[in-house]
Chain A
């Protein structure tokens, strides 16, 4: 495994299998009375969040604590540029305190990669702008695997996963499309043309995923559906006219649920806009795995922290 986790493209198939196997053991720890392992005793993990995120930050915080690492949260809204300090100075200052890992969230794409070139600590990308969110993709794929296993639906490989929503601004989409195709799933991404990422034509051909503007056409063959959060402020950017129109075209509505087989899992990275991209009937359906995702998140992040920090000598 590499020293940093910046992108799902940093991971080999072996790495993913190792992370998932360990995550499964961590999952068991979550159900113990004593939720504590000594594996990261004496290690310091800084959750450096330049952008608000309650769920990802607390997930990493719990993961670190259950592994006995000292976890410290540093949050700073806005870019360091606006404070007159360069990003490099900010992270070097923090790392000078003696830090083993930086779990970093930043509103700018590529920030985690840049920081990894400046500091000695392992850098875990907890979301960089609209680029990647590798731990989210790992927990999504892990959740799907466990779901298919539990329902005797076979492996994730070969399954058809639909990813629906604001692709342009979604790091969850970028990490998921990379990881799911790596794991052999067939991915179709669905969005109105204005929310398709630029250059999606050649990119999707190269990376081996399909694109569609028509959700109703995709759902009947889907083995899993991942709904992405749509931010209402995109309306002012002219990406779509109204929330109502978005829901009719691309929301997972009660009517659309009937297009899905009963056992098709519904995922959402949260926080959900109920009524906009996902109807309550879908969010609360028996096949909704939204809460499983949250629970898997802790296990997967424990696994990531463990493999990046417990030993010495991960390759650079």
Chain B
């Protein structure tokens, strides 16, 4: 019988208590718990959160193991306080079969650092035309529940309708990358607005996202199915979501840490580190996203962790790859933007980064909170740290870290996956 005692942690930012973990599950939460035979972790001054769940991670394996592997991506997740991640399907080969999904799942289990749940693609090869083997992926050992062509939008309304209908059979969800490809031309590389006009960069307007979100919530209503809007980035999408929820449409949405903090102004130096899809938007959009996360219109935070090899970023801006790292810095960013600013509590943060994402993805054994009987997936965060991000310190294989040089007031000190420490003292175990 293994015993772990975490002492003095503030439970989701509330009162301090000890957490006793026995055989990977939370056995007791209280004061002055019995230390005998227990490995003791002193968490005085730290906030205990349920292990974080990322709805949106790119692990790059198979295909681009030079940028990230399932192991290194899992490690980056653990360092960021995560105990489960959903691995996006846009690998090479694409996760569009049961075999591909099971392989990702198995590699995740072999790495053993976080739970890795493959996301299946909606369409074969992400081509947007024929449905992938959605049902077989759902029935596979990987138990796939989330399907997404992320990186690309399911642009064809008929295909989207069929996908939404099809996943109803097993309670699946379509996570949509909302981007009208006619409004966002192939050369588009940033938010279309005053800055892109000055910089001479081809951009796409916020409305290219809004129109797809609007279409998809209507399709969700029509099909009675469930749609999830990945990485919401515009005030327009937020308006549509607010309306859709008021109508009782079964829609959920996520926002990334970078869209909560960074604005399009950062593109002035043409640094491809800040090239991401959806693009960084103006401050008005960022404010709308913060408000929407605070009031529940946006349900969850997801990282869209997108590692890229250096040589895929060291191109001219329009030629460089889209995406930025996110797993290791997510809590810091959300804490700064939402908690330190007083817009949310730590309990709210636990909801949007653990409980709700686990529910959206249909994960068992994750996001159950710090309650007796729950699997001991938890993370300890120092809420009064002073850390400056150095991209060289990352455990990710890639260095496209948009927060390099920025300082934050929170840092992950420890992470436990079913009672086993994956991170202690801020370092991988």
Judge A-B direct contact (beta carbons within 8 Å). yes
Using CB atoms and an 8 Å cutoff, list the residues of chain A in contact with chain B: 79-81, 86-89, 106-111, 113-114, 128-132, 168, 171, 174, 197-203
Contact in complex: A109, B315 (CB < 8 Å): no
Q: Which of A80, A108, A203 gathers the greatest number of chain B CB atoms within 10 Å?
A: A108
Contact in complex: A110, B270 (CB < 8 Å): yes
On chain B, the residues within 8 Å of A197 by CB distance are 197-198, 200
The 9 lowest CB-CB distance pairs between A and B, nearest first, are A199-B194, A110-B270, A108-B316, A131-B200, A197-B197, A130-B200, A88-B314, A109-B200, A81-B319
13 sampled A-B residue pairs with Cβ under 8 A: A86-B310, A87-B319, A88-B314, A108-B316, A110-B199, A111-B270, A113-B270, A129-B200, A129-B318, A168-B197, A198-B196, A199-B193, A199-B196
In the assembled complex, the Cα of A141 lies from the Cα of B316 at a distance in Å of 29
Cβ of B317 within 8 Å of any chain A Cβ, yes or no, is yes
Residue of A nearest to B310 (CB): A86
On chain A, the residues within 8 Å of B315 by CB distance are 79-81, 86-88, 108
Q: How far is the CB of A197 from chain B (nearest CB, A)?
A: 4
Q: How far is the CB of A185 from chain B (nearest CB, A)?
A: 19
Q: Which of A88, A199, A200, A203 gathers the greatest number of chain B CB atoms within 10 Å?
A: A199
On chain A, the residues within 8 Å of B193 by CB distance are 198-199
Interface size class of B (residues with CB under 8 A): 20 to 34
In the assembled complex, the Cα of A111 lies from the Cα of B317 at a distance in Å of 7
Cβ of B240 within 8 Å of any chain A Cβ, yes or no, is no
Contact in complex: B317, A174 (CB < 8 Å): no
Q: How far is the CB of A40 from chain B (nearest CB, A)?
A: 28
Report which of A106, A198, A199, A200 forms a contact with B316, defined as CB distance below 8 A.
Answer: A106
**Assuming A86-B311, A109-B270, is B197 touching A200 (CB within 8 A)?**
yes
Contact in complex: B314, A86 (CB < 8 Å): yes
In the assembled complex, the Cα of A279 lies from the Cα of B134 at a distance in Å of 60
On chain B, the residues within 8 Å of A199 by CB distance are 192-198
Contact in complex: A171, B200 (CB < 8 Å): yes
In the assembled complex, the Cα of A109 lies from the Cα of B189 at a distance in Å of 11
Q: How far is the CB of A110 from chain B (nearest CB, A)?
A: 3
Contact in complex: A113, B269 (CB < 8 Å): yes
Q: How far is the CB of B117 from chain A (nearest CB, A)?
A: 33
On chain A, the residues within 8 Å of B318 by CB distance are 108-109, 129
Contact in complex: A109, B197 (CB < 8 Å): no
Using CB atoms and an 8 Å cutoff, list the residues of chain B in contact with chain A: 192-203, 205, 269-272, 310-312, 314-320
Q: How far is the CB of A26 from chain B (nearest CB, A)?
A: 29
Q: How far is the CB of A41 from chain B (nearest CB, A)?
A: 33
Report which of A106, A110, A171, A198 forms a contact with B203, defined as CB distance below 8 A.
Answer: A198
In the complex, besides A108-B317, A109-B316, A199-B192, 13 extra interface pairs with C-beta distance below 8 angstroms are A81-B315, A86-B315, A89-B314, A107-B316, A109-B200, A110-B199, A110-B201, A114-B316, A129-B316, A131-B200, A199-B197, A199-B198, A200-B194
On chain A, the residues within 8 Å of B202 by CB distance are 130
Contact in complex: B317, A114 (CB < 8 Å): yes
Contact in complex: B200, A198 (CB < 8 Å): no
On chain B, the residues within 8 Å of A132 by CB distance are 200
Q: How far is the CB of A107 from chain B (nearest CB, A)?
A: 8
Contact in complex: B311, A109 (CB < 8 Å): no
On chain A, the residues within 8 Å of B317 by CB distance are 108-111, 114
On chain B, the residues within 8 Å of A168 by CB distance are 197
On chain A, the residues within 8 Å of B197 by CB distance are 168, 197-200, 203
Q: Which of A88, A129, A168 gathers the greatest number of chain B CB atoms within 10 Å?
A: A129
In the assembled complex, the Cα of A111 lies from the Cα of B318 at a distance in Å of 9
On chain B, the residues within 8 Å of A106 by CB distance are 316
Report which of B192, B196, B316 forms a contact with A111, defined as CB distance below 8 A.
Answer: B316
Residue of B nearest to A174 (CB): B200
On chain A, the residues within 8 Å of B203 by CB distance are 198
Residue of B nearest to A50 (CB): B316
Contact in complex: A110, B311 (CB < 8 Å): no
In the assembled complex, the Cα of A202 lies from the Cα of B269 at a distance in Å of 20
Residue of B nearest to A129 (CB): B200
Residue of B nearest to A92 (CB): B314
Contact in complex: A109, B199 (CB < 8 Å): yes
Q: How far is the CB of B190 from chain A (nearest CB, A)?
A: 10
Q: Which of B194, B316, B318, B319 gathers the greatest number of chain A CB atoms within 10 Å?
A: B316
On chain A, the residues within 8 Å of B201 by CB distance are 109-110, 129-131
Q: How far is the CB of B316 from chain A (nearest CB, A)?
A: 3
On chain B, the residues within 8 Å of A202 by CB distance are 194
In the assembled complex, the Cα of A40 lies from the Cα of B405 at a distance in Å of 41
Residue of B nearest to A88 (CB): B314
In the assembled complex, the Cα of A79 lies from the Cα of B196 at a distance in Å of 21
Residue of A nearest to B282 (CB): A199
Contact in complex: A79, B316 (CB < 8 Å): yes
In the assembled complex, the Cα of A114 lies from the Cα of B201 at a distance in Å of 14
Residue of A nearest to B192 (CB): A198
Report which of A87, A108, A131 forms a contact with B314, defined as CB distance below 8 A.
Answer: A87
On chain B, the residues within 8 Å of A89 by CB distance are 311, 314
On chain A, the residues within 8 Å of B196 by CB distance are 198-199
Residue of A nearest to B313 (CB): A86
On chain B, the residues within 8 Å of A111 by CB distance are 270, 316-317
On chain A, the residues within 8 Å of B192 by CB distance are 198-199
Q: How far is the CB of A238 from chain B (nearest CB, A)?
A: 10
